Homo-oligomer: A and B are copies of this chain.
Amino acid sequence: MPAPADPLVADLLAALPADRVLVDPDVVAPFLHDEAEWAAYGRAAAVVRPRSTAEVAAVVAACARHVRPLVPRGAGTGLSGGANAVDGCVVLSTERMREIVEIDEAERLAVVQPGVVNDDLRAAAAERGLWYPPDPASSPWSTIGGNVATNAGGLCCVKYGVTRDYVLALEVVTAAGDVVRVGRRTAKGVAGYDLAGLMVGSEGTLGVITEITVRLRPLRTGTPRTVVGFFDTLTAAGDAVSRVTARGLQPSAFELIDRVCLHAVNSWKHAGLPEDAAALLLAQTDLPEPAAEQEAAAIHAEFEAAGARDAVFSTDPVEADALFDARRLAYPALEQRGDAMLTEDVCLPRARLAEMLARVEEIAARHDVLIANIAHAGDGNLHPLLITPHGDEPAKRRAQAAFDDIVDAALALGGTVTGEHGVGLLKLPGMRAELGPEVLALQRAVKQALDPHGILNPGKVVS
């Protein structure tokens, strides 16, 4: 092989075993972007797949020496373009760092490399009677490193919190190439600023995460109870969510699926889901019995009070699983249709949910765009899915205008432009509008402090 023309690539090849470095454009191509439709991406000088913290440190040091961008990447399941390559960068994939280093029952914690897949950690924890709650819909594929980088949410958040709530400590390679540990292994600790918390959700712009210590909970036992509500309008479903919350109920999952999604899942999986309602709400309670029965009854009553056309208790776990599978399958089912799909991720105060859903319908009609809705309803976190035929440029432009209008509507109603997917590229304009210039200046000051030469995932989050 001739010596590479790029001195950075030459350094990487000299510093790492040969199989760690990919430069063939065909091989590199799948590493250049995540799943964010229409987010721009550039050409990478190389993709590296380190196996250890020391190898990550060598890569960062090389990029620092050459003052070249480094773009960390988990499984590439992101939906905001946060892992998208910029021209001349090195993409650092953590896919080969998938060791579960330790699971400690006495301390209820696990230590993992960043490339460990979410479901693999959950399975390993379950074998020890422990539970890692954060469960993004991408959990069969997404990695803990990526989940930490985006502060991923999921179905359990509504009762059990998001990724940040479970991160105790991180090993991080700094922009200077130093390996540091932030956070702690103890249940509590306030020694210095919470740098571990700051790294969570920073999308690879403040350091490269090489090891993660997460808090675990005791494994849940018993079968959760599920309540299903069928609603003739999205706003009635939104009302039901507000009512359940205001009554002090705490479902362990509380999801919304609209008719478009149900139809897509039926078409793909022949699931036989009901398609005659505008939306269904799925609420689950995991309290110990008989409290679960009482909470399920109270949820049922609120569904009826909000005008559900039908509300049923699902006592059959197989049936309940099928409904939650439909929630998880909605996104890939819509993808199966072969259309392009732009995913929204606004999060609203719960009391504004009904109003926001009405606005989404109005925006869809106004821009003549098909918008499907799935939502972590109990969190007020909506994922309107803007669907357009591939290659239909006018439709794409209409969808982008609708996307912008949804962001504006969320801000007008006191919401945030991103509940759990991250800023990446797609939400940069929205974030600027949300935070305002003074807070953006603070964000940039933090970035400048920890990455003075701007080599870590430049152009994301704070650009």
Residues of A within 8 A of B (CB): 105-108, 129-130, 150-151, 153, 157-158, 161-162, 164-165, 174, 178, 180-182, 184-195, 197-198, 200-202, 206, 218-219, 242, 245-246, 248-250, 287-288, 290-291, 347-351, 376, 378-381, 414-423, 427, 430-431, 434-436, 438-440, 442-443, 445-450, 461-462
Q: Which residues of B contact A347 (CB under 8 A)?
A: 184, 186-189
Is there contact, CB below 8 Å, between A189 and B106? no
Q: Which residues of B contact A188 (CB under 8 A)?
A: 153, 157, 162, 347, 376, 379-381, 416, 419-420
CB atoms of B418 and A189 under 8 A apart = yes
Contact of A191 among B129, B178, B427 (CB under 8 A): B427
Contact of A446 among B187, B349, B450 (CB under 8 A): B450
Distance in angstroms from A208 CB to nearest chain B CB is 14
A381 close to B187 (CB less than 8 A): yes
Contact partners of A174 in chain B: CB under 8 A: 438, 442
Chain B neighbourhood of A219, CB < 8 A:
248
Q: Which residue of B lies closest to A289 (CB)?
A: B291
> A453 to B245, alpha carbons, bound, how many Å?
45
CA–CA, A381 and B188, complex, Å:
7
Is A248 a contact partner of B190 (Cβ separation < 8 A)? Answer: no
- Bound Cα distance from A271 to B427, whole angstroms: 60
Closest Cβ–Cβ distance, residue A57 to chain B (whole Å): 12
Q: How far is the CA of A250 from the CA of B160 in the complex (A)?
A: 14
Q: Report the nearest B residue to A294, measured CB to CB.
A: B288
Does the CB pair B348–A186 fall under 8 Å?
Answer: yes
Q: With A245-B106, A418-B190 known to touch, is A195 a contact of B439 (CB < 8 Å)?
A: yes
Question: For residue A379, which residues in chain B have a CB less than 8 angstroms away from its CB?
Answer: 186-188
- Complex partner residue of A193 from B202, B287, B348, CB under 8 angstroms: B202
Q: Which of B200, B349, B351, B442 contacts A195 (CB 8 A)?
A: B442
Given the known interface contacts A164-B197, A197-B164, A218-B248, the answer about A442 and B180 at a Cβ–Cβ threshold of 8 Å is yes
Q: Which B residue sits closest to A248, measured CB to CB?
A: B218
**In the docked arrangement, what's the CA distance between A416 and B186, Å?**
7
Max count, chain B CB within 10 A of own CB: residue among A130, A290, A440, A442: A442
Q: How far is the CA of A157 from the CA of B449 in the complex (A)?
A: 32
Instruction: Give the distance in Å from the alpha carbon of A91 to the alpha carbon of B430 in the complex.
Output: 39
- Using known A-B contacts A187-B381, A219-B248, determine if residue A446 contacts B416 with beta carbons closer than 8 Å: no
Cα–Cα, bound, A75→B159 (Å):
33
Contact of A194 among B108, B197, B246 (CB under 8 A): B197
CA distance in complex: A129, B250 (Å)? 14
- In contact, B182 and A439 (Cβ under 8 angstroms): yes
Q: Which of A191, A194, A440, A449 has the most CB of B within 10 A?
A: A191
A179 to chain B, nearest CB (A): 8
Give every chain B residue within 8 A of A151 (Cβ-Cβ).
190, 194
User: A290–B287 Cα gap in the complex (Å)?
Assistant: 11
Q: Can you pick out 20 interface pairs between chain A and chain B where the beta carbons lie within 8 Å of each other?
A: A107-B349, A129-B248, A164-B197, A174-B438, A184-B347, A186-B380, A187-B419, A188-B347, A188-B419, A189-B416, A190-B421, A190-B422, A191-B416, A191-B431, A193-B198, A193-B206, A194-B197, A218-B249, A291-B291, A446-B446
Alpha-carbon separation in the docked complex, A288 to B420 (Å): 32
CB < 8 Å neighbour of A449 from B202, B431, B445: B445
- Among B197, B430, B431, which residue has its beta carbon within 8 angstroms of that of A197? B197
What is the CB-to-nearest-CB distance from A60 to chain B, in angstroms, rounded to a whole number?
14
Instruction: List residues of chain B with CB within 8 A of the CB of A250.
Output: 218
Chain B residues with Cβ below 8 Å from A195 are 439, 442-443, 446
How near does chain B come to A412, taking the closest CB pair, in angstroms?
Answer: 14
Smallest CB separation, A227 vs chain B (Å):
18
Set of chain B residues within 8 Å of A420, measured between Cβ atoms: 188, 190
Taken together as a complex, chains A and B put the C-alpha atoms of A188 and B130 apart, in Å, by 25
Residue of B129, B150, B191, B427 touching A417 (CB-CB under 8 A) = B191
